[in-house]
Amino acid sequence: MANGQLALVLNAHQPFVRHPEYPRFLEERWFFEALSETYLPLLRLFRRLEADSVPFRLTLTLSPTLLSMLGDALLGERYLSYLDNQQRLAASEESRLGSDSVFAPVVRVYSELYRQDRDDFDTLYSRDVLGAFDYFYKKGRIELITSGATHAFLPMYVDCPEAVSAQIETAIVAHRRAFGKHPSGFWLPQLGWHPALADALRAYNVQYTIVTTRSALLGSPTPRRGSFAPVQCPNGLTVFVRDAEATKAVWSESEGYPADAVYRDFYRDIGFDLPLDYLGPFLEEKDARIYTGFKYWAVTGQTADKLPYDPAAAAARAKEHAAHFLAARVAAAQETSALMDRPPLMVCPYDAELFGHWWFEGTLWLESLFRQAVGGALDVVTLGEYQRTQPRSQVSLPEFSSWGDGGYAEVWLDGSNDWIYRHTFKAAERMTELAERFPDESGLRERILNQAAREVLLAMCSDWSLLMRAGRASAFARRQVEDAVANFGKIYDMLCSNTVGTEWLTRLEKRNNIFPALNYRIFRKKR
């Protein structure tokens, strides 16, 4: 009999980046890299496990912006161009290093990766990656849940209930449109929870969400099962609690598994090592170095003298780490189960892009974990399965918290990004004003109101404030917020002066084509 239960939860998310007005756009690579290194490898992992009859269970968030990009024809076309480029670079690298006994096997790893990605994306799935996830969803192997429409950091907006509801409702509509089912769970962007969100989520029939350990332990009253069981808000919303130990084992950049010396080093990339003359034909701009994805060195340690990457040794270590992870969870379950009235549950939520993209061996670790868990002391479950078998939990209302630095809102509210709230709040307020003034519009005016709502949602994206604070692509991030706010402002002015620039609107609709089913009335006042 199992001593406990383990729920792995991955949050797959990309901010909406799509620029048809340019022939190529550097930041679209974020999505292409995640497809190549995380989403398609995850689907291969599912296929292998299914073929071997391994009863895996995974809760997976596909964020609404990611849903939109995965279903977008233009980005699909551009992804194939990206794969062309990666395969050309792989071929060039095989020529350059073909006789090198150390690096040639590493190059072949990448050649094989991009070949499989192309086969899967273009041939096996006919570019319908969502359909591939839906297959495993329908079979009950994975449970797909949703997240904030544009990954807004919701605790900041609890005093603007129209904006919070718009984020939730748009997400649910996008999920239902993609998969034909109402999502049971809702991933809080950045695990940003605030007590006021409980009612907002229940209003849309969300059954459960996940919070940090801090949120739960500081809840009222303190949950007596710690993080080993969910709590239930007074309104019935089930709130699962992140397992802090399991999180650290994987997330920590210095002590977590990905920091192991034999794993592939993320930072050392031929894009920064080889001469520009050679790399030029494979770069977005021939004189601007970028991460190419071709990385030949192992983490090694805190040294610039890296050792060559050995894929076989790294794969073996991933299996060891999966065993170690399971053993640690089993030990915690054994110790806790005697003190509890139900099998302890350990909820392990991570960003999906950690697996494969950053931690190259992460998908191998995941696969190994599922295989090793079969018949062991832990039942691997989805959150929905758990909730159905344990519908009642201790009543407690978790406290405001997030998974960012410091545990609260420091990442999304500091000197680098605090300026955005003046604009996003104003845009949301004005959107509510418009929705109240024009509740029954159709035709062109409805189109423009829907676009206005899209722009408000896009401006609220928390990824941009995160990047501004991190100093990574911060000029680009700032521009995304400014563009969305400016687009909204222009629409607001048009509606106030009763003039609509049809040509401009059509161009904007084509560019920011996210959430085609969006209805601007979601911003109407909550009464």
Partner 1 sequence: MNSEKLESLSLEALYALAEKMGLDLPVGLERLFVVEEILDALVEDSEDRRAARDEAVHVDEKKYSGSELDELDAAIDDLPPLEARYNETMIRALVRDPSWAFAYWDLSDAERAALTGVDSESPLFLRVVELNPEGDETKHEHFDIPVSIDDLQWYINLPHSAMRFRIDLCSRKNGSAGSRLRVLARSNTVVSPRQELQPGPDVLDSSAARPLQLARIGYLRIQRSEPDNPLRITPPGMEFQPGEAS
Q: What is the C-alpha separation between 86 and 96, in angstroms, rounded?
A: 15
| β 238-241/231-232 pair status | antiparallel
The answer to the question of residue 161 lying near partner 1 (CB under 8 A) is: no
Token pair recorded at residue 483: 């563009």
CB 186 within 8 A of CB 389: no
Q: What is the C-alpha separation between 492 and 297, in angstroms, rounded?
A: 52
Q: Choose, by CB under 8 A, the member of 313, 323, 327, 339 that binds partner 1.
A: 339
Q: What is the C-alpha separation between 57 and 348, in angstroms, rounded?
A: 13
The answer to the question of residue 467 lying near partner 1 (CB under 8 A) is: yes
Touching partner 1, residues 268-327 (CB under 8 A): 272, 284-285, 287-291
| Helix H or strand E segment including 239 | strand 238-241
The answer to the question of residue 449 lying near partner 1 (CB under 8 A) is: no
Touching partner 1, residues 22-61 (CB under 8 A): 26-27, 29-30, 33-34
The answer to the question of residue 220 lying near partner 1 (CB under 8 A) is: yes
Q: Give CA angle at 338 (335, 344), nearest 5°.
A: 70
The answer to the question of residue 340 lying near partner 1 (CB under 8 A) is: yes
The answer to the question of residue 71 lying near partner 1 (CB under 8 A) is: no
Beta bridge partners of 397: 220
Touching partner 1, residues 168-197 (CB under 8 A): 190-191
Q: Choose, by CB under 8 A, the member of 77, 112, 410, 436 that binds partner 1.
A: 410
Q: What is the C-alpha separation between 3 and 32, in angstroms, rounded?
A: 40
**Three-state secondary-structure class, residue 498:** coil
The answer to the question of residue 240 lying near partner 1 (CB under 8 A) is: no
**Residue 411 Cβ, how far from partner 1 at the closest point, in Å?**
5
Beta bridge partners of 157: none
Q: What is the 3-state secondary structure (H, E, C) of 328-393?
A: HHHHHHHHHHCCCCCCCEEEEEEEHHHECCCECCHHHHHHHHHHHHCCCCEEECCHHHHHHHCCCC
Touching partner 1, residues 413-432 (CB under 8 A): 413-414, 418-419, 421-423, 425-426
The answer to the question of residue 328 lying near partner 1 (CB under 8 A) is: no
Q: What is the C-alpha separation between 306 and 57, in angstroms, rounded?
A: 37
The answer to the question of residue 475 lying near partner 1 (CB under 8 A) is: yes
Stretch that binds partner 1, among 121-129, 132-140, 170-178, 240-248 (CB under 8 A): 240-248
Stretch that binds partner 1, among 114-122, 219-227, 373-381, 495-503 (CB under 8 A): 219-227
Q: Choose, by CB under 8 A, the member of 45, 174, 217, 373 that binds partner 1.
A: 217
Q: Choose, by CB under 8 A, the member of 98, 140, 221, 516 that binds partner 1.
A: 221
For residue 509, give the nearest of 432, 422, 449, 431 by alpha carbon: 449
**Residue 407 Cβ, how far from partner 1 at the closest point, in Å?**
7
Touching partner 1, residues 386-405 (CB under 8 A): 399-401, 403-405
Stretch that binds partner 1, among 125-133, 252-260, 377-385, 449-457 (CB under 8 A): 252-260
**Residue 325 Cβ, how far from partner 1 at the closest point, in Å?**
16
For residue 255, give every residue at least 6 positions away whose Cβ sits within 8 Å of its Cβ, in sequence order, or none: 248
**Three-state secondary-structure class, residue 425:** helix
Q: Which is nearer to partner 1, 8 or 411 (CB)?
A: 411
Q: Which is nearer to partner 1, 137 or 488 (CB)?
A: 488
The answer to the question of residue 226 lying near partner 1 (CB under 8 A) is: yes
Q: Choose, by CB under 8 A, the member of 72, 93, 120, 353 that binds partner 1.
A: 353
Q: Which is nearer to partner 1, 184 or 465 (CB)?
A: 465
Q: Choose, by CB under 8 A, the member of 112, 255, 436, 493 that binds partner 1.
A: 255
Q: Choose, by CB under 8 A, the member of 54, 241, 262, 373 that binds partner 1.
A: 241
**Residue 172 Cβ, how far from partner 1 at the closest point, in Å?**
24
Q: What is the C-alpha separation between 160 and 382, in angstroms, rounded?
A: 32
Helices 311-337 and 362-373, packing angle to 10 deg: 50
Termini Cα distance of the chain: 50
**Residue 165 Cβ, how far from partner 1 at the closest point, in Å?**
17
**Residue 216 Cβ, how far from partner 1 at the closest point, in Å?**
8
CB 359 within 8 A of CB 261: no
Touching partner 1, residues 88-147 (CB under 8 A): none
For residue 424, give the nearest of 450, 461, 463, 451 by alpha carbon: 461
Q: Choose, by CB under 8 A, the member of 71, 219, 230, 343 that binds partner 1.
A: 219
The answer to the question of residue 63 lying near partner 1 (CB under 8 A) is: no
- Count, residues near partner 1 per rule CB under 8 A: 95
The answer to the question of residue 151 lying near partner 1 (CB under 8 A) is: no
Residue type, 235: N
Q: Which is nearer to partner 1, 52 or 419 (CB)?
A: 419
Token pair recorded at residue 157: 């907006």
What burial class does residue 41 get, using C-beta atoms within 10 Å of its C-beta: 0-12 exposed, 13-18 middle, 19+ buried? buried
Q: Choose, by CB under 8 A, the member of 485, 505, 508, 522 that binds partner 1.
A: 485
Backbone angles phi, psi at 240, to 5 degrees: -80, 155
